[in-house]
A and B are shown apart, each in its own frame.
Chain A
Amino acid sequence: QSALTQPRSVSGSPGQSVTISCTGTSSDVGGYNYVSWYQQHPGKAPTLTIYDVNKRPSGVPDRFSGSKSDNTASLTISGLQAEDEADYYCYSYAGSYTWVFGGGTKLTVL
């Protein structure tokens, strides 16, 4: 079970859009529509931002959206705001009641 692959960092200016990718295999990301994304601010616990590839929990702005194609899932944040600056982690079901995280991506709002 290897960690999913995410870019180490992405950046964008306020109002712009950014996309964070998450690449796995057919045994995890590609095999199930059970990819979620977590936002983590420094010193805080992660919070659920997207689940089941493209669903948003209540309270999460619709600026956050998710998608998946084959073995790669993506998180897109549109209309970037300063408070979106954080670390983002993808998380995928990997079968047999096991899960795997991505390595994490640091989003910088310029």
Chain B
Amino acid sequence: QLQLQESGPGLVKPSETLSLTCTVSGGSISSSTYYWGWIRQPPGKGLEWIGGMYFGASTYYNPSLQSRVTISVDKSKNQLSLKLNSVTAADTAVFYCAGGSRGNYYMDVWGKGTTVTVSS
């Protein structure tokens, strides 16, 4: 059974780069069977799709974040990573890693989320 676990610093300073990882268990991060995504949720607000990686290679991003976001995989660690640069307080959120099966257009496996606060 696929399981996802996000991790990373809980506090990031303004203008710095937010870096998170998502460890995948029960499946291979590089498998063409799955695709992966990052979603965030600011405090008291709704969900926002950040971007995703499909079939171990192609990445796609929310146009509103595209200039600041990079999603990649570390196959040796079976991890998905997220980097968001030039952060501001508006980037404070719970960040979720999620996955879906190839051919499906929804994410049916989610991590528990990790909270990141942007503050000096």
* Chain B residues, Cβ within 8 Å of A40: 47
In the complex, the number of residue pairs spanning A and B with C-beta atoms less than 8 Å apart equals 62
Pick out which of these stretches binds chain A: B15-23, B60-68, B73-81: B60-68
Interface residues of B (CB under 8 A from A): 37, 39, 45-49, 52, 54, 58, 60-64, 96, 104-108, 110-113
- A47 and B45 CA atoms in complex are apart in Å by 17
Could you tell me if A100 and B49 are in contact, using CB atoms closer than 8 angstroms? yes
- A36 and B49 CA atoms in complex are apart in Å by 13
A interface bracket (residues with beta carbon within 8 Å of B): 20 to 34
* Chain A residues, Cβ within 8 Å of B63: 1, 98
Would you mind naming 19 contact pairs between A and B with Cβ atoms under 8 Å apart? A1-B62, A1-B64, A3-B46, A3-B48, A32-B105, A40-B47, A45-B110, A45-B113, A46-B96, A46-B110, A57-B108, A91-B49, A93-B105, A98-B49, A98-B61, A99-B49, A100-B49, A101-B39, A101-B49
